[in-house]
């Protein structure tokens, strides 16, 4: 059915709707009772239940399962005057039950096809559980590893982040939104939420238009280009206005310049939070500001339901704005096929068939292997021989089936990951496991993780076991719930007792493979200096143990590259590769007055784009042809100089060395992931057009300024072959 048809049907529906019913469509409630049980008997659930029956609820979140969603849908379809179906939303961030790696880990794969497939798996299972709409992808750029939500995004880079935004939207939504295995996606949090000051969640954001246009907005724009159906606004302020009440963002840019025809949902309670921000005087005022600014649906605050009808009657919100919001919401419902069959997604048989489907397990295993980053491998400690003897595995996380699932997994089953040890078991039983001290006492999505900060008992036993080991594998890091929403940290080290354990073991045996599990970049400066092999495994989801074991024993050659810079010290944060130069970038005469720290280098520990392989790659023969300034051709030859096949992410960085507005020292503008057999070479080519050469000026116009450009193609953001060219226009 074409879009035109829907518009006519929406027109007729809008004509039938009362103002209250329209406002009802703009109201999103969280699940408030067990729909398979009796109707609620007490508390404010009773009131919400009545709202449901009156048609005052357009959508619900956090309702899980085909049975629950079906029951609620029946109430609305059968008991409300117009029977407009509900839209069920959920944070399906990296899977429903079968979990893929956390999004930051997936970003480390730089493999867009794999990422799209991972979102497709998530959509398939979520849709089978009655979910129509995921609050993902989070496309916030962030440069601050203290911010716990970096685990949810694609890292620090706008170019990579935009490509991944497109892949995720395509994966969730597929070709046909009305198919029973696709769901509507939601680009969030619009905008600049990832720039929360000091990495503290929900904190003030203060970014200039230059950063907003060039760094923050592009992944959102890319998501609209990929046809994303919904947007979520954000908790933060921008230029003094809470994003939820920001008409410049939502009306001028999103619905104006970008022609977005889906709807904008507020973040949880963010309409009412404009009061605490000091922007709205009360709930009525908040509703007025948000609705006028283009926030179409109110998540959980109830402010729209309570106030919008009155505000329209008083003339403070024009009814045409309400109609526009409802039209957008209904459009998505039509596109999902809900008017054709409101129960299409709530199919108990399909739910049983799709959940934990073996194909999904295979898909997330592939994704998990691709997400692992080999940070260091001195003396080729890795891979281990398959008949390696004398392995001692140390660390609580090795035996953990819950933490590796990562944060943001609202519908998953606890303890459902293949643990590190279970993955090892598939290769060898010839190892000793010593847990060492307890790493965490308790962990859940709703509470802070209780980290062991004092009890060192268990270290001695680990040290004893390590003494005679041929190789020690230490599995250390953060608990999965130490990152995610509201999980900001001021220190981003390996937790203190685990670090003591590592140092104590190091005293007796230096042949250590450090397997890191974490949801953000960590300051592993001592580790990088002393430990010969370090494998970054993030939180890899359901297939964690299998993926890591395949890498450890060489059945998969690691190919991941960091999507976020690893700092040497938390004092360097925010640290990112595409920074500006400053007027004093280098120390020319041994002078103290240049841009630096007295106690630490400026450079990162591991730069953006870094990641090793079990083989080696050599770059040669950089060619730059700028004969056509509208299509500059850059090529490079890459040779696998090692003795096994491997994948390399060939990265192209560009610099506009002087411009009317200063440009970053370099910016990623192209990449290709290639597979090379040992001893073979491949030429990789890039085309640089206006899209890569330009930038947004202060008037939000895209401009290419003629002049010289520097280009670098290499294995990470710091190492590569350099060239330059001139663009005359």
Q: Which stretches of the chain bind ligand BGC, using CB under 6 A?
A: 61, 91, 135, 188, 267-268, 485
Residue placing its CB nearer to ligand BGC in the complex, 188 or 350: 188
In the complex, minimum distance from the CB of residue 609 to ligand BGC, in angstroms, rounded to a whole number: 27
**What is the CB-side half-sphere exposure of residue 572 using CA atoms within 13 A?**
26
In total, the chain counts a number of residues equal to: 729
Catalytic entry in 140, 267, 396, 400: 267
Closest of 404, 367, 668 to residue 516, by C-alpha: 404
Rounded to a whole number of angstroms, the minimum distance from the CB of residue 239 to ligand BGC is 21
Q: CB-wise, 138 or 693, nearer to ligand BGC? A: 138
Distance from C-alpha of 501 to C-alpha of 505, rounded to nearest angstrom: 6
Q: Do 234 and 187 form a contact (C-beta atoms < 8 A)?
A: no
Edge-to-edge, what's the strand order for the sheet holding 133-134?
133-134, 87-90, 59-61, 27-30, 298-299
Whose Cβ is closer to ligand BGC: residue 61's or residue 122's? 61
Name which of 234 and 476 has its Cβ closer to ligand BGC. Answer: 234
Least separation in angstroms between residue 189's CB and ligand BGC is 6
Q: Name the residue nearer to ligand BGC (CB basis): 91 or 656.
A: 91
Q: How far is the CB of 485 from ligand BGC (least distance, A)?
A: 6
Q: Which residue is nearest to ligand BGC (CB)?
A: 135
Please report the sign of the dihedral spanned by the C-alpha atoms of residue 578, residue 579, residue 583, residue 584.
negative
Q: How many CB atoms lie within 10 A of CB 538?
A: 31
> Of 21 and 267, which has the nearer Cβ to ligand BGC?
267
* Least separation in angstroms between CB 58 and ligand BGC: 16
Q: Is 387 a catalytic residue?
A: no
Radius of gyration for the alpha carbons in the chain, expressed in angstroms and rounded: 26
Inter-residue contact 297 to 59 (CB < 8 Å): yes
Nearer to ligand BGC, 106 or 396 (CB): 106
Cα–Cα distance for residue pair 650/327, rounded to 1 Å: 45
Taking the complex as a whole, the smallest distance from the CB of residue 417 to ligand BGC amounts, in Å, to 22
Q: Return the DSSP state at 398.
A: G
Cα–Cα distances (Å) from 577 to 137, 526, 565, in that order, read: 23, 22, 7
Q: Which of 324, 315, 322, 185 is nearest to 255 (CA)?
A: 324
Whether cis (ω within 30° of 0) applies to the bond prior to 283 is no
Structure tokens at 669: 């503008």
Q: Minimum distance between the CB of residue 197 and ligand BGC, rounded to whole angstroms? A: 17
d(CA 486, CA 706) in angstroms, rounded, equals 45
User: Residues 494-505, buried b or exposed e (16+ Cβ, 10 A)?
Assistant: bbebbeebbebb
- Which residues are identified as catalytic? 267
């Amino acid at each position: 059915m074409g879009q035109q048809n829907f518009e006519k049907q929406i027109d007729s529906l809008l004509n039938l709707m009362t103002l209250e019913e329209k406002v009802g469509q703009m109201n999103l409630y969280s699940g408030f009772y067990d729909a398979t049980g009796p109707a609620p008997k007490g508390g404010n659930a009773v009131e919400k239940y009545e709202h449901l029956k009156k048609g005052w609820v357009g959508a619900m979140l956090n309702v899980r399962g085909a049975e629950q969603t079906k029951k609620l849908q029946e109430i609305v379809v059968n008991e409300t005057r117009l029977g407009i179906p509900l839209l069920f939303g959920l944070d399906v961030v990296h899977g429903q039950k079968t979990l893929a790696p956390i999004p930051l880990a997936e970003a480390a794969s730089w493999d867009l096809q794999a990422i799209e497939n991972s979102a497709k798996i998530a959509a398939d299972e979520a849709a089978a559980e009655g979910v129509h709409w995921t609050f993902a992808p989070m496309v916030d750029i962030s440069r601050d590893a203290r911010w716990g939500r970096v685990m949810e995004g694609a890292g620090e880079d706008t170019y990579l982040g935009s490509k991944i935004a497109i892949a995720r939207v395509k994966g969730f939504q597929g070709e046909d939104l009305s198919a029973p295995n696709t769901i509507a996606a939601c680009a969030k949090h619009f905008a600049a939420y990832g720039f929360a000051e000091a990495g503290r969640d929900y904190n003030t954001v203060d970014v200039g238009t230059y950063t907003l246009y060039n760094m923050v907005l592009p992944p959102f724009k890319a998501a609209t280009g990929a046809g994303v159906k919904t947007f979520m606004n954000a908790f933060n302020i921008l230029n003094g206005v809470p994003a939820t009440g920001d008409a410049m963002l939502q009306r001028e840019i999103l619905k104006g310049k970008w022609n977005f025809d889906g709807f904008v949902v507020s973040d949880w309670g963010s309409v009412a939070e404009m009061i605490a921000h000091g922007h709205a005087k009360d709930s009525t005022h908040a509703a007025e500001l948000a609705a006028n600014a283009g926030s179409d649906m109110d998540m959980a605050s109830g402010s729209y339901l309570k106030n919008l009808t009155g505000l329209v009657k008083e003339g403070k919100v024009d009814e045409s704005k309400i109609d526009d919001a409802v039209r957008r919401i209904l459009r998505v419902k039509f596109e999902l096929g809900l008017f054709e069959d409101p129960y299409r997604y709530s199919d108990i048989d399909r739910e049983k068939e799709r959940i934990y489907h073996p194909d999904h397990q295979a898909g997330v295993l592939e994704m998990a292997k691709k997400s692992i980053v080999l940070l260091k491998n001195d003396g080729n400690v890795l891979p281990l021989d398959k008949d390696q003897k004398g392995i001692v595995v140390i660390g609580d996380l090795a035996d953990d089936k819950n933490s590796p699932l990562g944060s943001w997994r609202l519908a998953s089953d606890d303890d459902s990951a293949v643990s590190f040890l279970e993955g090892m078991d598939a290769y060898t039983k010839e190892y000793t496991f010593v847990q060492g001290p307890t790493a965490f006492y308790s962990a859940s999505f709703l509470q802070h993780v209780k980290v062991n900060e004092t009890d060192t008992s268990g270290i001695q036993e680990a040290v004893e076991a390590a003494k005679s080991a041929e190789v020690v594998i230490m599995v250390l890091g953060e608990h999965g719930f130490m990152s995610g929403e509201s999980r900001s940290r001021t220190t981003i080290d390996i937790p203190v007792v685990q670090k003591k354990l590592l140092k104590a073991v190091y005293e007796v045996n230096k042949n250590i493979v450090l397997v890191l599990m974490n949801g953000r970049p960590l300051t592993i400066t001592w580790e990088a200096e002393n430990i010969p092999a370090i494998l970054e495994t993030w939180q890899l989801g359901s297939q964690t143990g299998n993926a890591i074991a395949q890498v450890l024993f060489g059945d998969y050659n690691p190919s991941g590259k960091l999507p976020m810079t690893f700092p040497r010290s938390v004092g360097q944060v925010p640290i990112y590769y595409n920074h500006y130069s400053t007027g004093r970038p280098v120390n020319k005469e041994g002078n103290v007055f240049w841009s630096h720290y007295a106690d630490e280098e400026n450079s990162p520990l591991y730069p953006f784009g870094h990641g090793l392989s079990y083989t080696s790659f050599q770059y040669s023969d950089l060619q730059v042809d700028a004969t056509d300034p509208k299509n500059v051709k850059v090529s490079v030859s890459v040779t696998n100089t090692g003795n096994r096949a491997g994948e390399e992410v060939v990265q192209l960085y560009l610099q506009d060395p002087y411009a009317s507005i200063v440009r970053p020292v370099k910016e990623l503008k192209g990449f290709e992931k290639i597979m090379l057999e040992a001893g073979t070479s491949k030429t990789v080519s890039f085309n640089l057009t206006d899209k890569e050469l330009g930038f947004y000026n202060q008037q939000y116009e895209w401009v290419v300024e003629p002049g010289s450009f520097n280009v670098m193609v290499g294995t990470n953001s710091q190492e590569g072959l350099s060239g330059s060219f001139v663009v005359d226009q």
